[in-house]
Amino acid sequence: MAQETMSGAKIVLKALVDQGVDVIFGYPGGAVLPIYDELFQQNQIKHVLVRHEQAAVHAAEGYARSTGKVGVVLVTSGPGATNAVTGLTDALMDSIPVVCLTGQVPTHLIGNDAFQEADTTGITRQCTKHNYLVKKSDDLARTMHEAFYVATTGRPGPVVVDLPKDILMLPAPYNATAKVKHKSYKPQVKGDLKKIEEAVKMLANAKKPIIYGGGGIINSGPGASQLLTNFARTTGFPVTLTLMGLGAYPASDKQFLGMLGMHGTYEANMAMHDCDVMLCVGARFDDRVTGLLSAFAPNSKKIHIDIDPSSINKNVAVDLPIIGDVAHVLEDMLKVWKSSQAKADAKALDAWWSEINGWRKINCLAFDQGSEIIKPQYAIRRLYELTRGRETFITTEVGQHQMWAAQHFGFDKPNQWMTSGGLGTMGYGFPAAIGVQMAHPDALVVDISGEASFMMNMQELSTAVQYRLPVKVFILNNMYMGMVRQWQELLHGSRYSESYSEALPDFVKLAESFGAVGIRVHKPDELDGAIKEMMAVDRPVLMDILVDQKENCYPMIPSGKPHNQMLLGPVAAGTEAIADEGKVLV
């Protein structure tokens, strides 16, 4: 059969359509003009014009995280590609499937320091799961489809396809299909049944079990969250989730202990420290989670389910690794649990739960809301309560507000919580919210933000207004880079070096100048009305909520300390919260 020949740019668009892509986020430039010309002449793919390429990637991440589909980015060569690097690194750290198409100077100019040339594959090699430079027209269609295959299978991640301009102009055959078979890349999804049987035995014999779940559950799809919930209900085991895993288990369930880690709950961290069998599901023993490694869950046997073999024994040596996709492994584990008639040790579990309930009584997330100054925690609590009846997606920036959001906003479903966990990218949340809103036009999408983070990508207000995306930015304005200030207070004698947000704009006027709505809130009793107004407005809203400037985020595991040495609140003056060996840690 004669293969159809078309321009490279047409091939790119056809491959996107064949992959089921309906939205891409991008910014034009010389090297990608042929693709933009093709975009102009079709109506299957919507293009969202961002105001900075970093935002294009974050928007694609938000789109991907909230739908389970791939986020697609289109940027030009040189600065277009380098601006995308932070977003790509963010997607790599959080395992978000993104395909980023970058323009490149024509093949005969590569290496000549041509205008807007950058060694994009060289620069992005370490911040992508994989990348391609298409040097031959014949390879274009196959490479496009392979990029989607690599981005979405196994542990997901960002993939860059670098497209020289001559390749986009030259005619070539569309010689590939959306279904890809790869020679060397074959991720394992089914877990080893013997090991799963062994895991069931270990769990059935546990006296103090805990399930510690992470972002891998979200990536595995909503089915994985359901299976986790079934497994937890069947066994009666307590569940804690990482920052990336929130929503994988219903926050309102009584078996949920809250988030674990540096700003996790007291009960989750104490239970992790004292457990005897730990079932880690799609999490990676990140340093924010483990605290002091040598004292991490010292008396436990650890089972680790992960799709990525390199996650096994990276930070923590585990007793029983199971390589595979979370949903597949949990399904088998549940089957084996039932067929082997395994039973949790009810007596031991009762004792364990009463210990846990003792820790719960500490009420570690309590805060004291007076009548004058809004506590940031209170603002998030009110947002949570008032939005419960609506389908709500939350994104965040990075810092104190992010931790408060994780602590005080409850997620009962997966894919509703988008945050930059691994890289900790300020400026992530607002463009991510734009991506989420594109995918869910009727949902309420709120970026819980700080004033400093918001200013890192606030140019995207223009994007939100252009596409009539009614995203809400919920700024907890404490006029500080709050987490930096908190660390300076704890580590550097309250010398607040460069962490004060000087010369802030008037956010209400800023919103209005972009054609969005601005609302300022000063007092606790104004908050509910303002949130309701924000929800009622069908336009982008910038909420400027003036909160307590000195509030710190607790509880906290100080750097270099184990789980059972959490700070529950401010320490007395003159005592060192963090020892010297902890100060070098981040």
Partner 1 sequence: MQMSTEIQCHTISVLVDNESGVLARVIGLFSGRGYNIESLTVSEVDPREKLSRITLVTSGTEMVIEQIKAQLSRLVPIHKVRDLTVEGAHVSRELALIKVAGTGDKRVEALRIADIFRANVVDSTNESFVFEIVGKTDKLDAFIKLMEPLGLIDVARTGVAAIARGAEAL
Q: Which positions are annotated as active-site residues?
A: 53, 115-116, 165, 483
Q: Please, which residue, 65 or 302, has the CB nearer to partner 1?
A: 302
Q: Which stretch binds partner 1 (CB under 8 A): 317-325, 386-394, 448-456, 524-532?
A: 317-325
294 binding partner 1? (CB under 8 A): no
Q: Quick one: which of 4, 44, 49, 122 contacts partner 1 (CB under 8 A)? A: 122
CB neighbour list of residue 488: distance below 8 Å, 6 or more residues apart: 494, 495, 496, 497, 499
129 in contact with partner 1 (CB under 8 A):
yes
CA gap 140, 137 in Å, rounded = 5
Contacts 24+ apart (CB under 8 A), 112-118: 115/30, 115/78, 116/29, 116/30, 116/31, 116/76, 116/77, 116/78, 116/79, 116/80, 117/77, 117/78, 118/77, 118/78, 118/79, 118/81, 118/82
Token pair of 16 as six digits: 């996107």
Looking at 43, 184, 299, 371, which residue binds partner 1 (CB under 8 A)?
A: 184
Nearer to partner 1, 107 or 369 (CB): 107
Interface with partner 1 includes 130 (CB under 8 A)? Answer: yes
Per-residue interface string for the shown chain with partner 1, residues 134-153, x marking contact by CB under 8 A: ----------------x---
Q: Is 204 exposed, middle or buried (0-12, 13-18, 19+ CB in 10 A)?
A: middle
Based on the shown chain and the rule CB under 8 A, indicate whether residue 125 belongs to the binding site for partner 1.
Answer: yes
Q: State in angstroms the smallest separation of the CB of 278 from partner 1.
A: 12
Interacting stretch for partner 1, rule CB under 8 A, among 62-70, 181-189, 376-384, 470-478? 181-189
- How far apart (Å, rounded) are the C-alpha atoms in residues 54 and 88? 8
Choose one: 21-29, 127-135, 199-207, 562-570; the region binding partner 1 (CB under 8 A). Answer: 127-135
Cα–Cα distance, 407 to 508 (Å, whole number):
28
Q: Which stretch binds partner 1 (CB under 8 A): 129-137, 191-199, 246-254, 578-586?
A: 129-137
Cβ atoms of 259 and 242 within 8 Å: the answer is yes
- Check binding of 171 to partner 1 (CB under 8 A): no
The span of 29-37, 91-99, 316-324, 469-477 binding partner 1 (CB under 8 A) equals 316-324
The DSSP output letter for 73 is: E
Q: Does 309 bind partner 1 (CB under 8 A)?
A: yes
Furthest-apart CA atoms within the chain: distance in Å: 81
Of 123 and 374, CB closest to partner 1: 123
* Residue 112 to residues 64, 109, 118, 328, 566, Cα–Cα distance (Å): 36, 5, 10, 49, 56
For 561, the token pair is 């300390």
Q: Which is nearer to partner 1, 182 or 550 (CB)?
A: 182
Task: Examine residue 585 and tell whether it contacts partner 1 (CB under 8 A).
Answer: no
Name residues contacting partner 1, limited to 77-96 (CB under 8 A): none
Give the interface with partner 1 as residue ranges (CB under 8 A): 121-122, 125-126, 129-130, 133, 150, 182-185, 302, 308-310, 312-314, 317-319
